[in-house]
Amino acid sequence: MEEILEQLQAAAQSSAWGLEKPEHEHTVDAEEQMLLPFPRDFREFLLETGDLLVGSLEPAVVADPSAHNYLPEMAANAWDLGVPRHLIPFCANPDSPKAFYCVDPDGEIQLWWGSRQDSESWETIWYWARDVWLHS
């Protein structure tokens, strides 16, 4: 995880407005809004990468409720499009407005196209970050 985080930080782009680094309270607020507990690795991912801009993908943020990719809002939109309610949709796929990368209760990452699961999956959010986000 540390090596992948270092790669993400090295690849991060600067922005004029900057992103707020999330704190633990932000993840708790998001969990309470979504009525779902976050897997440990996912919570750590949100805290460690929530202020990074890397490539063309925009994983959800928890520190800024007004952001277009605020996690509870992104999840609600994905659930309305057919993503199962027990999954946490954390990143929209820019190739399709109905495709989302989701974390399941065990921390595995899956790609969902509306109500259909794609065959791609990653064991942890960190492997997804290495294989997908870093190369976006």
**For the segment 68-95, what is each residue's pLDDT rounded down to a tens digit?**
999 999 999 999 999 999 999 999 988 8
Whether 17 shows a pLDDT value over 70: the answer reads no
Cβ atoms of 47 and 22 closer than 8 Å: yes
Separation between Cα atoms, residue 13 and residue 20, nearest integer Å = 14
| DSSP conformational letter for 78 | H
Output the pTM of the full model: 0.93
Farthest-apart Cα atoms in the chain, separation: 38
Q: What angle do CA 87, 71, 23 make, to 5 degrees?
A: 115
- Residues 85-132 pLDDT 10s: 999 999 998 888 789 999 999 999 999 998 899 889 999 999 999 999
The ranges assigned to domains in the chain are 2-135
Taking residue 75's Cβ as centre, other Cβ atoms within 10 Å add up to 23
Fold entry, domain 2-135: SMI1/KNR4-like (3.40.1580)
